[in-house]
Structure 1
Amino acid sequence: MQYSSSSLLYGGLLSLLLAVGGCGKDQAARPVTPSPPAPAPSSTTFTNPLLPTGADPFVAQKDGYYYYLHTTYNDLRIWKTAKMSDLPLATATIVWRPPTTGAAAGNLWAPELYFFDGKWYLYYSAGPAGPDLGQQRTWVLENASADPTTGTWVDKGRIFNPTEDFWAIDGTVLEQNGNRYFIWSGHNGRDGIQRLYISKMSNPWTLTGPRVELSHPEYPWENVGPPYVNEGPEILQRNGQTFLVYSASFCGTDDYTLGMLRTTTTADPMLPTSWRKSAQPVFTKNPSGNVYAPGHNGFFVSKDGSENWLVYHANNNPGEGCFDKRSPRMQKFSWNSDGTPNFGSPVAPNMPIRKPAGE
């Protein structure tokens, strides 16, 4: 019975997502500003979107290569490339196909890839196949190969806190003070509001200790829905500060956006009082540039290590919802005088952007 409210909300969420994501026919008569034509290829620039479709993008880096992932729903894929601007030319490798039945047979979302202690770990969200999303949980795979597109992926099962096992998606990892912590979006067992939680990790597939809530929707820009959402947590660290950038509001709306928590790199991240929440979003839609619902981001550094880059998904037109209209984009970001990241505004589709330094 502890899942009744979540199951009620998320059992019907897929229908809502489809309704929102598939509303293009209903909105065909709405004026939509066409995107400018893509410029001719250049040796120094690229354009967004990087791919025609792909939600929840994530980038890992190792040994001179970028490993890119996004939600494909039915399997887990990794794109390997030496240059992020060449991502459209890269070939995806399917590294995991789920079992046909069981607790992780369908709805595979938001994969993230990490190299810990000499092995690769791939975290993702999944549940039973079918339209009921009320049983989504977070899972982890392990691979001892030096290259995550090769070798054998071993199912390490669900990663969860056994004392508070509720709906959970979008897992990410924070390394701080010599420890690792798992941060995810989940429910409290009493309502369908998505909150951000943290637990300490005893190894890359096991959580230990309490589950602590770090954030829930508070401000108006976090409460565009329903459902009311904090999700997609991602970690960024620089000059003694740790930033937790997350996505807020329902992804089916044009107001999906990025918010941020911050703390120091020496603070105890398990203490909610260690974190300060920004009262304003840090990355929002750009209607004049035809960018809507930007969110569920990742971070990477340029080939030469001199630049910081944001990767995220967005829509080109209003009302395009949560499904295949979302496409991955990337852009360089800078830093404010107080040390916080300045992501700027989403760059319009087909506008030339200088390639990451070193490419």
Structure 2
Amino acid sequence: MLHPRSFLVSWLLIGLLASGCSSKAPAPAPTPTPPPTGPTTPATTYSNPLLSSGPDPWVYQKDGFYYYMATTGNNVTLRKTAKMSELGNAPATVVWTAPSNGANSHDVWAPEMHFLDGKWYIYFTAGPGSCCGGQRLWVLENTATDPTTGSWTEKGRIFSSSEDFWAIDGTVLEQNGQRYLIWSGHANASTEEQRLYISKMANPWTLTGPRVELSRPQYSWEQQGVLPVNEGPEILQHDGKTFLVYSASHCTTDDYALGLLSTTATADPLVPTAWTKSATPVFVKNPTAGAYGPGHNTFFKSKDGQQDWLLYHANSRPGQGCSNDRNPRMQPFTYRADGTPDFGTPVSIGVALPRPSGE
């Protein structure tokens, strides 16, 4: 789990030549026609991948803009765009850089930004360099209206003091007027199997109460690669239901995939039995489309609010594993008659696809 491509728009310029020929005088030099200055026809398609690299992509929508982040390894970088199909043209702003040494100086992974209580918060993973044992979750805060401006303040680590083990991929769930942190971690200091945990939040940088295990790798499709893994939890809420979509198996395998937990929008998410786990993955590789190890996803709405979109990373060739070759891709999805999300299969790279509606 260690963790742009510009869209070219073709313009047709019509050259008009003035001719004022006469049998008694030479023709005047043609006057060049200036390029058009009025409205032009916008592009209606995009193609995947959106950028050449971008493991663990994340996007947050607010006030007509999309804020995109991904794993870089040594900093937290933010892109702001009005159109997800034009992500490759969005300027990149580094909002935090890892120090040269210390507890969060290495392996900066999976940043997520949320707007909570009138402020911006970024949750990211980092460690001292030992990776497998040292990774923990950290929080940044910014009071500016635009998160690409202002100052980001380190709020420190967010963790359960009684169970302070390896922890990555933090995300936020809001349900029943309460806020929760969900992440991937180890059960204890002696195991490397990754499970999903949840804990109540006292504020955006503090947990209260014990952590509760929601899922562990129990099926064969969650145990591919060098370690059994449940990671990259993301929340999707729709029509009275709450879904927890997570990544399963180790990122070294082409069989990295998405799994699903489901509950109601009124259930207590701290009760493990309130969640129902799908026995089969909900999004898997598609070799004919150039999509290997699809996972670590996020969700967004189209500009007009009419479509639901899935943003995820995948490798374009087999055997690329956990490297920076993982690139961000997007595609729309729908819901089945029972209310569960239907993500379909990964779409082909390099193929022109309709842009999100409203763009």
TM-score by length of 2: 0.88
Q: What is the CA–CA distance in structure 2 between the aligned matches of 1:332 and 1:288, rounded to whole Å?
A: 19
Alignment partner of 1:353 is 2:358: no
Residue 135 (structure 2) aligns with: 136
Residue 85 (structure 1) aligns with: 85
Larger Rg belongs to:
2
Given that residues 107 and 131 in structure 2 are in contact (C-alpha distance below 8 angstroms), is that contact kept between their aligned partners in structure 1?
A: no
Q: What is the CA–CA distance in structure 2 between the aligned matches of 1:88 and 1:261, rounded to whole Å?
A: 32
Given that residues 39 and 352 in structure 1 are in contact (C-alpha distance below 8 angstroms), is that contact kept between their aligned partners in structure 2?
A: no
Given that residues 9 and 43 in structure 2 are in contact (C-alpha distance below 8 angstroms), is that contact kept between their aligned partners in structure 1?
A: no
Residue 32 (structure 1) aligns with: none
Alignment partner of 1:337 is 2:337: yes
Q: What is the CA–CA distance in structure 2 between the aligned matches of 1:39 and 1:93, rounded to whole Å?
A: 22
**Structure 2 matches for 1:1-359, cutoff 5 A?**
43-128=43-128, 130=129, 132-189=131-188, 190-359=190-359
**TM-aligned CA deviation for residue 133 of structure 1:** 3.2
**TM-aligned CA deviation for residue 158 of structure 1:** 0.2
From the superposition, tell whether residues 64 and 40 of structure 1 become closer, same or farther in structure 2 (CA, over 3 Å): closer
Q: What is the CA–CA distance in structure 1 between the aligned matches of 2:93 and 2:265, rounded to whole Å?
A: 35
Given that residues 39 and 350 in structure 1 are in contact (C-alpha distance below 8 angstroms), is that contact kept between their aligned partners in structure 2?
A: no
Q: How many pairs align?
A: 324
Task: State the identity as a percent.
Answer: 62
> Cα RMSD (Å) of the superposition?
1.5
Give the counterpart letter for 1:164 in structure 2. E
Q: What is the CA–CA distance in structure 2 between the aligned matches of 1:237 and 1:171, rounded to whole Å?
A: 17
Give the counterpart letter for 1:320 in structure 2. Q
Q: What is the CA–CA distance in structure 2 between the aligned matches of 1:294 and 1:119, rounded to whole Å?
A: 32
Residue 169 of structure 2 aligns to a residue whose secondary structure is: strand
* Structure richer in helix, relative to its length: 1
Describe the superposition over 1:222-256 as per-residue Cα deviations: whole angstroms up to 9, x where unpaired. 01022110000000000100000000001011000
TM-score by length of 1: 0.88
**TM-aligned CA deviation for residue 145 of structure 1:** 0.3
Moved over 3 A (4+): 38-42, 130-133
Give the counterpart letter for 1:181 in structure 2. Y
Q: What is the CA–CA distance in structure 2 between the aligned matches of 1:126 and 1:353, rounded to whole Å?
A: 36
**TM-aligned CA deviation for residue 191 of structure 1:** 1.4
Q: What is the CA–CA distance in structure 1 between the aligned matches of 2:91 and 2:55, rounded to whole Å?
A: 17
Residue 218 of structure 1 aligns to a residue whose secondary structure is: coil
Give the counterpart letter for 2:255 in structure 1. D
Describe the superposition over 1:29-77 as per-residue Cα deviations: whole angstroms up to 9, x where unpaired. xxxxxxxxx9986811000000001100000011100000000111000
Q: What is the CA–CA distance in structure 2 between the aligned matches of 1:353 and 1:133, rounded to whole Å?
A: 39
Unaligned runs of 5+ in 2: 11-41
Given that residues 113 and 121 in structure 2 are in contact (C-alpha distance below 8 angstroms), is that contact kept between their aligned partners in structure 1?
A: yes
Q: What is the CA–CA distance in structure 2 between the aligned matches of 1:47 and 1:135, rounded to whole Å?
A: 38
Given that residues 127 and 133 in structure 1 are in contact (C-alpha distance below 8 angstroms), is that contact kept between their aligned partners in structure 2?
A: no
Give the counterpart letter for 2:148 in structure 1. T
Q: What is the CA–CA distance in structure 2 between the aligned matches of 1:327 and 1:111, rounded to whole Å?
A: 15
Q: What is the CA–CA distance in structure 1 between the aligned matches of 2:238 and 2:282, rounded to whole Å?
A: 17
Give the counterpart letter for 2:173 in structure 1. L
